[in-house]
Amino acid sequence: MLKVINVVGARPNFMKVAPIMEAMKRRTAEFTPLLVHTGQHYDTSMSAAFFQDLELAEPNVHLEVGSASHARQTAAVMERFEPVVSREQPDWVLVVGDVNSTLACALVSVKLGIKVAHVEAGLRSRDRTMPEEINRLLTDQIADLLLTPSEDAGANLRSEGIPAERISFVGNVMIDSLHKNLERAAASTIREELSLTDKQYAVLTLHRPSNVDDSATFSRIWSALEDIAATLPVVFPIHPRTRKMIKEFGLNTRLAAAQNVRLIEPLGYLDFLSLYSNARLVLTDSGGIQEETTVLGIPCVTLRETTERPITVTLGTNTVVGSDTEKIRQAAIAALGHARKNNFRIPPLWDGHTATRILNALIARGLH
């Protein structure tokens, strides 16, 4: 019997941990799972909706760290997580992704002599200006078991000197959530509420500081969106951070004047899945959406200079364009005009069974 603390901190973590927790609860003779929510994403309107949509049980422990600078938030998670680990004495602490909570909880566990498993290990953007890249690099150096989503991730780890026995290629657990919830998302009425016709609109997500904290960068992206919207309506569920920066930059009037761009409130998991899975084009600076659109065969234009998920470009439907107005416009035109050949492939082990392989890897390592 393995006692495992599963850590979530931000919304992308929820989609990765939900299928793992579900799989552990099916294997009660082998696993005692606990769920710890650090509260890194703390707003009820967004986080609670994701818990409900993913059928994720209420956390056993909520650390309630809230928002702060990277240093203060990481320190707060460490300070509040340490007594939980000391009290529970788990066999494993399982962390996912690349947020501050991932690194903080891994550090605490290793210092207490508790084994750490990192789900989504080995992803690299090669851009150390991204806080997530630092979290990925450091977590992978200290974790005992590195559970990789793709073959290139394993190659990254080996090139960094990680011993092969610490690496296990299990596939992409985000796709487990996607497969499970596509049918449930079909019951959503969000498209009808927005009077949208399937495959006749684009979806935009935009939240990264590199895009929304600089008015010049945001303006370049928005100029391209105004052009794209002349051809295809763009639906924009706007992140609270993005809305805040738009107001600070005095861009409210410009956004309001944009014809065919619809700003809507953030959506829960199922409504958002329903929205983007029926879109003709997705534009995003998110990581997970690059993966999900690849599996669904939807053209994706990534508004970043780099991606830690290059397999979505080499095998999938993703094009990385940065914030250059013309590059965004041309990538969208190519996608809408079907200039990109429809020969994408789903990467190996992105099959909806990754959670089972993760549990098998934990059992194989056991207490050793």
Nearest to 96 by CA among 31, 155, 177: 177
pLDDT profile of the chain (368 residues), mean per 10: 95 94 97 94 68 89 89 96 98 97 98 98 95 97 98 98 97 97 95 96 93 92 93 92 87 85 92 97 95 96 96 95 96 80 84 98 82
d(Cα 162, Cα 160) in Å, to the nearest integer? Answer: 6
Residue 254: per-residue pLDDT: 86
> Any catalytic annotation for residue 207?
yes
Q: Determine contact, residues 236/256, Cβ cutoff 8 Å.
A: no
| Adjacent-strand bridge partners of 2 | 31
d(Cα 7, Cα 28) in Å, to the nearest integer? Answer: 19
> Which pTM was predicted?
0.94
Residue 109: per-residue pLDDT: 98
Instruction: Give the CA distances from residue 92 to residues 17, 280, 366, in Å, rounded to whole numbers and listed in that order.
Output: 14, 42, 9
Q: Dihedral, CA atoms, 25, 28, 31, 37, nearest 10 degrees?
A: 30
Contacts of 292 (CB under 8 A, 6+ apart): 174, 175, 178, 276, 277
CA angle 345, 314, 201 (to 5 degrees): 70
Domains of the chain with bracketed CATH: 2-172+350-365 (3.40.50.2000), 182-336 (3.40.50.2000)
Q: Among the options 62, 207, 239, 353, which is catalytic?
A: 207
Question: 151: which 2 tokens?
Answer: 């073959």
Residue 36: per-residue pLDDT: 97
